[in-house]
Amino acid sequence: MSDLVAAEDVLLFVNAAVTATGQREFRSSAEQQRFSLAFVHEYVRVNYRPLYAAVLALDINDHNAALIAEQLLRTPREAGPDEGRLIAARLAGMPPQRVYRLFRVLRAAGVNNRRTRAIVRDWLAGRPDLAHDAVKYRQGLKAAARHAHLPLPGSPEPADETGDFLFAPGRRTRYAHPALDAFRRAHYEQGALYELPFTVAEGFAARHGVAREVFLERIAPRMTRLERLRTRPGATDLSVMPLTRLALYVLSLPFGERAERRTELTGALRAAARRVAGPHAGSWGRVAAVLDDSWSSSGSAVKRRRPLAVALGCHFLLEALAAPGAYTAHWTSGGLDPLLVRPWGPTPLGERILDALELAPERLVIVSDGWDNAPPGLAGEVLRVWRERLDPERRTSAVHVNPVYDADVFDVRRLAPEVPTAGIRDAEDLPALVEIARFAEGREGLPALRAYLDRRVELFLKGAEEARA
């Protein structure tokens, strides 16, 4: 029993680490989210520290990965083996702005032990171009170097020009590195701003009074894919967009434009889903999906339509994973056109689950925030009776994936004990979450979960070493 409780606690934390970002959700404020998440982190770190660190090897979101790294570095006396390697490997795969933000948090908290300094030093040493970071993430790099007492090598010679740029900007009249010198010239030369990263050049463009359209057109070659999507979504190449981000883009379009571009958008979504499915495409047999497009799927002001985008992405991914012609989708609104879905109405999950089970699928996948309210509790009762009376042999495997963290229960909201629930952040994570959801059924305890995490840690560290090499 103690093993099962421990496994449940760790799975609860995994769900939180996948879904929660400390931001406002449809039914809870940002403060509630942050308070709930802080409690879960501390509880699992204190009671299951090796497993807490091992979660860094899973597909959790960057917000929680940074929180785990922070908590582990704050408490060095309790450190276990491989913690430092796990933190370093996870930071190497995170966006640099998040890592610099973590370093600033550690500095503000006075965390400056030997392991922290080594991780900061090694991460900075692994950056491809510190001079570029000095321009784009100036305050973050400056704080990290000062906190860890690190000398800043320059590239190219002279070796200390990056340090001069950060700590003594008036010392040099020009710089050898093109990014550093472009930043210097951009203060008085309008053409130099187009040699800078987009986020830096944007401020200089406003200072020089450059028209927005002119600036965006000329800076386009310097923009990342996400920057192009944010500033000029219509000009983005849909064929390279990730599945969930593509679903968000589709949902941001007016209904008329979605209908006009039906062939293009549907083709892009299916192509993205096939890329995610990879060799598993067509291997899941008969699949039925219950997809939540009720009003709560509209998300919040900071996560607009995120739950609905996850459901839409899962729809196309499940279509790719199912055998040809063996997939059916049941939207809670009763809609039949996935391209025109919108957040609307109540959540009659029970009725849609009945519709899905009538087809006797091999797999049932429910994508919902778990707020079954038409009528309340029907979905849980349907799943209980179905599992206990109609399908005790488990001919149909079922899983519920939930894209919304419930701050009140420190977990994602569940529909029924008989069906495992896993948190989901991006539709791309669905295949891996179906694998880990089996531990939530209560038939496998802590040893099996620990063995699974050990395998993931081994693969994660091996991949990080290969990437470094």
pLDDT in tens, 448-460: 888 889 999 999 9
Residue 376: cis peptide before it, omega within 30 degrees of 0: no
pLDDT band at residue 310 using 50, 70 and 90 as cut-offs: very high
What the block records as the tokens of 458 is: 């081994």
CA distances from residue 117 to 50, 123, 228, 424 in whole angstroms, order as listed: 22, 10, 36, 33
Instruction: Lowest mean pLDDT of 25-29, 36-40, 89-93, 150-154, name the range.
Output: 150-154
- Tell me, what amino acid is at 362? E
Q: What share of the chain is helix, strand, coil (3-state, %, to 5)?
A: 60, 5, 30
CA distances from 349 to 364, 374, 419 (A): 13, 7, 14
Domain boundaries, the chain: 186-236, 238-444
| Residue 155 scores a pLDDT above 90 | no
Mean pLDDT, residues 351-372 taken together:
95
- 236 pLDDT higher than 80: no
Residue 331 has φ and ψ, to the nearest 5°, of -80, 145
Q: How many CB atoms lie within 10 A of CB 170?
A: 6
pLDDT digits (tens, 9 = 90+) for 45-91: 999 999 999 999 999 999 999 999 999 999 998 888 889 999 999 99
Percent of the chain with pLDDT over 90: 75
User: Which residue, chain included where needed, has tokens 């879904």?
Assistant: 19
Q: For all residues of the chain together, what is the average pLDDT?
A: 91
Pairing of strands 421-423, 287-291: unpaired
**Topology adopted by domain 238-444:** Rossmann fold (3.40.50)
If you average pLDDT over residues 128-135, what whole number do you get?
92
Cα(367)–Cα(289) distance, integer angstroms:
8
Tokens of 96: 């640099």
CB 155 within 8 A of CB 129: yes
Beta carbons of 403 and 424 less than 8 angstroms apart: yes
Residues 9, 51 contacting (CB under 8 angstroms): no
Q: What is the DSSP string of 160-188?
A: THHHHHHH-TTS-S--SSHHHHHHHHTTT
Type of residue found at 346: P
pLDDT band for position 153 (cuts 50, 70, 90) = low
Given a cut of 70, is residue 235 above it in pLDDT? Answer: no
Residue 444 has pLDDT above 70, yes or no: no
